Structure 1
Amino acid sequence: MLNNVPRSIALGGELGRLIAEKDWAATTLGPFGNWSVALRTTVALMLAAKAEIVLFWGPDYVALYNDAYAPTIGLKHPHALGRPACENWSELWDDLEPLLRRVRADAETVFAKDRPFQIDRKGEMETVYFDISYSPVFGADDQVEGVLCIVSETTERVLGEQRIRESEERFRNMADHAPVMMWVTDASGSCEYLNRRWFEFTGSSPEAALGFGWVETAHPEDRPRVGAEFVAANAESRAFQIEYRLRRADGVYRRVIDAGAPRYDAAGQFLGYIGSVIDIGDRFEAEQKLRESEARFQAIANSIDHMVWATRPDGFHDYYNDRWYQFTGVAPGSTDGEGWAGLFHPDDQERTWAAWTHSLQTGSPYHIEYRLRHNSGEYLWVLGRAQPLRDSNGAITRWFGTCTVIQDIVNARDVLARSREELEEEIARRTARLMEAEGAIRQMQKMEAVGQLTGGIAHDFNNMLFVVIGSLQLLQKRLAQGDLKVERYIDSALDGAQRAATLTQRLLAFSRQQPLDPVVVQPDRLVMGMSELLTRTLGERIRVELVATAGLWNICVDPGQTENALLNLAVNARDAMPDGGRLTIETANAYLDEAYSSDYGISPGQYVLIAVSDSGQGMTPEVVARAFDPFFTTKGVGKGTGLGLSQVFGFMRQSGGHVKIYSELGQGTSVKLYLPRHYGEAALRPLAPQVAGLPVGRGHELLLVVEDDDRVRAHSCELLRDLGYSVLEAKNGADALPIIAAHDLSLLFTDVVMPGMTGRQLVDAALVIKPDLKVLYTTGYTRNAVVHNGVLDPGTQLLLKPFTLEQLARKVRAVLDGSGR
């Protein structure tokens, strides 16, 4: 026994030890030996208890407490032990003292749940909550000597419930202000919340709707289905969506979509649903009207004798009436897209397709007679007509057309034609004699033009081939003699070959067969960007003036070919000013009216003018008239091919533009280029930076070369291997496809024009196998495979033959890196 403290107290945990060791003589309770039996007994019971208990003894409310209570007073422990309560509970004494006094004075128990207190137990004030039971402790004289406080802190639970209530309040506030009807159910499916919008819409009350009463607001015919679908979804805890009719407050039933998503607690336990109800009545009525309109259209279209069809704005056929299928006997859907053309008579297909293409491009009505295959296999004459449907802005949204059988009319025309045969035969005989004479003249002119063209080509190509063959023969001779100083022969051969390649490109430009890669450009920026090139090319004796125009329209052209055309004109101007002079390039907006346009076979409208003018010798009217003729030149022998202006003319017509020469002898010449205005914002393509040296392979890149010409294929493979690439090869598409399937290729390098499977067909099949495969086409001439209407298909990468090692290196690297065309 320590300080006369019995074991029942001293062994009462940490607080029992502190009570046993404390000098109680210095407190108002006096030495432990003087403590009353009631105090000792109460303390012993308190220390043995696991509940949070504090005992306030005597008029000063001296505090004694057990181990379970000590954490609830934080930093006040252990100083509060044996001290009057007013010292350590001073911050809440005004709240606590009346409770303790009430117990002492009235000898009654004070009980409360979640009683709040403001207390400083960790160095700062905080609000805490306790369940309390303050009971009187009686002494020997049956007077209240102390207050036994059994407490249980509920702060965490109370604050958690407050947070839940606040969260629910925020949700209800949000849901009640949401633009749609919202609801919440519990795990059993019972509806426990509907937002204000739902009650306003239905006019129902919470008493009638909560639980499962909301089902009664559905249309009587829909209720069984709605209830069954909801119960089934709830049983499986899965999301659902139900469409039904919901009664509005005015009694009108509106079609709605009711969708619910399951809710889960942190442990993954299903809590019920949260859902929304959206009024789709207006949309449903609009769709119903559209269906009714479609049904009426179908009824009308199928009730008339004409074959009716419709297309998208781009001409894709996507509708035919029943009469079409009855007449042709084909399966529904088989003539969608371009499949209809196969039913035309072979002799009519080309002109019919041309007429349809013209209408699509111009928006003009479609009108043509042709022969269409009947389900019997016989071809009958029909009249095809179509008109565009336009929106408020004038843009075409649909084409609607008909095919009318006119075989009887054609037969009648034949009968009428036979009745005029005799007269026509005489006219025909005389006309034939006249045409025969005119034909002979035209043939002579044609042969003269062909002779001039082929003679010019043969002359230039023979000169270039002489240089190439002669240089290679000298190279062969010098190498056989052991002479290694042969660079000049190699350079001479390469120069001759490059000149031949350039001549080929000019011929393609003249014939409008070169593939163009148009982009939207700002003309002033393009012209100003050529300043340094023009100054360097023309020399110091030519003063170059570039005149820009504010508010200049954009154009859509191939930038490289446009620069080539301007450079061609600038060089011609330089040659016309042997003693120096002034070259002016100016831009302006222009409008070509119908009168002017019809004279030159171009479309009237808005154009951007780029005029290249010089102060040179000028040309006579006779020279101007022949300036665009191929191989016509006024320069000395060996100083020009005569294809420069022909190339400019071909490029301008291929770009939808126009070129006109104005010249006066002794005053100078002005060549005016008219390029169609592009409607829309400029989206300039950034130029890829040129890297010094040849771009090479990176060791791991595997390329497949597909080329039907053995020598070209071998040469291409050798060049690519020399650039550091691993190379596989195939001579046609059939051999290439197994290689594509078996290897992880970095790039497919394929010729366009090949026997059997073309390059484009090979690429289409390869992309089915490997959709991410990168592709580079090559060709010396292409028409419809990757180029349509003279323009490269979007996203197509093309390298024209013949190409140099540097051109091949840069193009392959650009395609692999995805950095350019």
Structure 2
Amino acid sequence: MTSPDMSSSQADLERIFPGGGELGARMRAKDWSQTPLGPPEAWPPSLRTAVSVMLVSPFPTLLMWGPEYVQIYNDSFRLLLGEKHPEALGLPIRQTFAEVWEVIREMFEGVKRTGKASYSENQLFLLLRQGFLEESYFTFSYVPARDEHGEIVGLIDFASETTGQVLGERRFKALRELAIRAAAAVDAEGVFRAAEEVLAHNGADVPFALLYVQEEDTHRLVMRTGLTEGDTGAPSRVPREDLSGWPLAEVLRAGEERLVEDVDTRLGALHAGPWPDPVRRALLTPLALGGSGENDAVLVVGLSPRLPFDEAYRDFLGLMSREVAADVLRARALEQEKQRAAKLAELDRQKTAFFGNVSHEFRTPLTLILGPTEDALSSPAQALQGEQLERVHGNAQRLLKLVNTLLEFSRVEAGKSRATFVPTDLAALTTGLASAFESVVVKAGLRLVVDCPPLPEPVWVDPGLWEKVVLNLVSNAFKFTLAGQVAVRQRWTGNGVELAVEDTGTGIPPEELPRLFQRFHRVEGAQGRSHEGSGIGLSLVQELVRLHGGEVRVESAPGVGSTFTVVVPAGRAHLPAEGVQATARPALPSASTEAFVREAAHWVPGSQEGEDGARQGEGGAGDAGAAGDVRAMPSAPGEAAGQEPRTRVLLADDNADMRAYVQSVLDTHFEVEAVADGEEALAAARARLPDVVLSDVMMPRMDGVALTRALREDPRTARVPVVLLSARAGEEATVDGLAAGADDYLIKPFGARELTARLQGAVKVARADAARRRALERVAEVLEAMGDAFFAMDADFRVTAVNPSYERMTGMRREDVLGKVFWDVFPDAGDPRSVYWQQYHRCMEARESVKFIDYYAPLSMWADLRANPTPDGGIAVFCRDISAEKEAEAIRARQAEFEKQLIGIVSHDLRNPLSAIQMGTTLLARREELSDRALKTVVRVQNSASRATDLVNDLLDFTQSRLGGGIAIQPVATDVHAVTHAVLVEMEVTHPEREVRFSHAGDGKADTDPHRVAQVVQNLVSNALKYSQEGTPVTVTSRGEAESIVISVHNLGNPIPEALQPTLFEPFKRGESHKEITNRSVGLGLYIVKQVVEAHRGSIEVTSSEARGTTFTMRLPRARG
């Protein structure tokens, strides 16, 4: 039985280490006396309390007590220790965590020094807890542990391992970055490079990565990161069955990933990634990158030497491998789609080119059939004869040949061609076909060599198809051979027949050879006798040769020539049994031969077959004046007599039939010069300028579009109208032709009348344009010579023209202004508040003329400007320098102001003494003691003073009228009859010796200035008294009419001379009848009368004759308006 002492000791341990699971049991069983802490019975209460609390805590907790930091921990914390448990229990922490002691010691000292807890999140520790230094992450807090006296005697570590979280986030970020980068790649190479960039920044998880793609007998490295290519671990190629290095073939055969754990043994030490330790393990994963689903690549990934290869690590590498594979497949699918789209686009381009060529091939003969046919139908006989009939027949044969070729090609393409192979004397057949071209070849200045010796046995061919092969090859050789020879050689090889068609032609560029037999393909820029062709001839040859079980190849060098070789096997074993017939048939040339030869003849300038009788030139082929069938028509009747010469047409077309037909159509209306291609046309146009150029679009050497551009670039021919003929229909073709500079574009087939009308229209437009240019040149000459400055602006206010006066006025050179924005040239005018900005914008936007005057300070100039909108959407501005006029105007204004002030001062100075004289004489006249003589003297003084006052008033009115814009009036409702009567009453006092008669009628009410009306009446009556004979009455009438009041003053006496009447109302004009009287006046009275009347918007006139006397008639409106 248990002793009481042992029971008591066990109970003490239960109290000190209550519960606690595994660690509680271990603590109770441990001999603590062998540790720095001593037996538990001797532990201070603070330590016992801390241990008891820690043991029951579910959170990972480590108690480090005493100066040596002896470790006591709970069950949750032991999971963080790994292999360090259980030895760590009761040991100083320095012994347990020697690998990180220096790091944590500084943390401990910091906590003890400050007495404050520390906190660290996701802290990296390289711990040796699984047999290697492991990359580990922890979030923890060090809290001071105090004894009963409050002294810090240890630390408590509350810790949580976050390695999985940190690695998970890091790997997720890498996968996300890989997905983003790889998704942006457009091809497999782009995916490889994206993966390399991403993985290079994730060496902690992927020290190195290699991707090998399986090829025929090797594995090729396509992606690499972490290792240098060529190293033992990263060879650029690995033989397929090499087992010494990476076991790539084994992984592909097994179809499963493989963990290689002896990397250093296989390949030596491979250092990669952020750690100094070599990589000892790698994971090899098979991938299917080819799209077939079969594994054809292996991804080799080095494993981190400081991470355990657990499920999370394996899952990460699996996701990475699948991402790379998926992105490569996507990129390759995209590549294939692009290639498919490119092929479709190329096929569409070829189809478009084919239809364009076929359109030309069809439309040209159709034109030459329909044109003569329409001409015949419109003729009285309605019949085709002679050359026209031959032309229609020949072009119908050409159409038939083209249709047959297209049908044959269509059957071959569809696999429906039915060949009948018979034993054939191939030497005779080939010789006959080639020799048919002899006359054409010789006429072209070439030599034809036919070397086809007899063969030891018949050859199994379809004669009709073989005919097409030979005719196409010989025709093609002749078409592109301009000098030298064409040779047709056939020989027996023992296994079959070899046919070689050689030429010394222009040759084929090397880059064109691989595509030469593609359907619809034509060699761009090839120099030949004609630009015509459907682009299926050589493709058809290849297909027909393949039907015979043979092959065709080509050898060519630019400038040297080409050799097309056809090889056909001997015998019939290689042929389909259903197409073989043992009975031989005579192999004679068919109608197809004639069609090929006739077409070839069209390519020879001057040949009878092609020209239909057209006269040929005398010079060589390079002579622009004698190219092919150059033909200048003689002058029409009447031209020698001085009539306007006929319009000259320069015709360029490589088809001899078309040239001849068009020339025959145009001969009636035009003088025609015909050439065979664009180069000859350009030379002819420069030698003798035509009125219009008519050119086919598709021609050898230089086509119609290139000819148009060349004509436009030469100043001598830039204005010559160009009409293009083309078989390409549709808006796009027309736009292309017009964009090149053509004036018109005519689609084949066309009629004779349409062609004639188009040419006449082009010439008419060109001549009108020339007349317009001449008119503009004359306008330009005027602008250059005019004294006013001129400049023009476009809709964007860019200066487009200036004249010399502009340069002189502004001091700016023309080249410094043209093309610049006006507001940049004159920044002060560019302010939206300036009159220039406002007026020019008004002119530009409202399309209305403007006129304004302004002083432009930067040029110290007064300018009179007129801006007018121009038809092109801009404006034209004329500017006149009026600085001198403005200066003279200013001088006149200053003089006028001076005169005004002077007269005002003088009149003021005169009025004061005159007023004193008048008042004084009035007082004197009232004195009774004055004698009659003295009274008369006083009256004379009064009269003189009154005249002087009137004179001063007249001067003031004159000054106001001349300098102030007219005499000021103050109209009120007035009875003009009464005012007139009052004036006459006063005058009876001053002129008692004279009789003044007055009468009035009608309503005299009007809006007038009564004082000014009285002044006018007084002036007129005074003049009448002054200039009438004594004893004769002066008659005054005032008559009210519907809209006005009419006042007339009449007197008898000497009339006013007729010559004086027009100037009577001008200032300082005096009558000449009584000079002794007029000398008393300064001549302002009638001038002021008229100014007063006009201020009332009325009128005054005078009539005067010796018989009737003189009458002044004044008309004043009742109301001012």
- Tell me if TM exceeds 0.5: no
Structure having the larger proportion of residues in strand: 1
Q: Which has the larger radius of gyration?
A: 2
Structure with bigger RCO (C-alpha 8 Å, 6+ apart): 1
Under a length normalisation based on structure 1, what TM-score does the superposition of the two structures give? 0.30
Under a length normalisation based on structure 2, what TM-score does the superposition of the two structures give? 0.22
